[in-house]
Amino acid sequence: MRQIVLDTETTGLEVRQGHRLIEIACVELVERRPTGRHWQTYLNPERAIDEGARQVTGIEDEFLLDKPFFADVADDFLAFIGDAELIIHNASFDVGFLDAELARVGAHLGCIGDRCRVIDTLAMARERYPGQRNSLDALCKRLGVDNSARDLHGGLIDAQLLADVYLAMTSGQVVLDLAFEGAHEEAGAAVLAPVTLLRRPRVLRADAAELAAHEQRLDALDKAAQSGSVWRRLERPEAVAAEA
């Protein structure tokens, strides 16, 4: 099975207000394994970037002036995703922008839903961890994915982190409810802590009365078993050897 983990960056939050894509990044998984193949491009959005988006991405308008328009890369992008399953965090946002860009190029390109099945990892996380923060950063922390290199939002690094998060969420290895992460860590520490014996354990040996009671019990077993009890036979290995 081929999957594409996809992330985009945009000039602003609302596609209906004419905001555009400024970056698309895709990371390939085959049979749930990263292949090392990716597809990424910056785009000239033909408009200014909102201040909020600029602060989040660190991308300046001037940086995008010599970058291709979406129409210039649409065929390459569609060829890379093919009919793969797309994995996207907050998929309605990214797909909405991609569909708007495809529509600008021409109706003949259709929309993302015509080509690919889409998995929304935000919806998946909300179902699995209700009532918790489910941003990409929060999921990285919860699932042990190292996101220390993520100073700003960037399409390619976010797609790579999302791939790790998706594989962790769906691997079956995280079996405890992570709403109790602190308790889980404490319990794990208690279970995994090495045991050190400070002194030799005291051995209690049977006294005469206990040995007599044991022999009486074996006599009763011998009487019930016509060939003698297993316990007595094991006490006399030469008898067992003779029977073999």
Q: Which residues are catalytic?
A: 153
Q: Between the CA of residue 150 and those of 28, 36, 80, 140, 158, what are the distances in Å?
A: 20, 19, 25, 11, 8
Q: 55 and 14 in contact (C-beta within 8 Å)? A: no
Measure Cα distances from 227 to 26, 29, 234 in Å.
Answer: 76, 66, 13
Q: Report the alpha-carbon distance of residue 73 to residue 78 in Å, rounded.
A: 9
Q: What does the DSSP 8-state code read for residue 174?
A: -
Distance CA 54, CA 152 (A): 10
Which H or E run includes 167? helix 155-169
Residue 53 half-sphere exposure toward CB, CA atoms < 13 A: 21
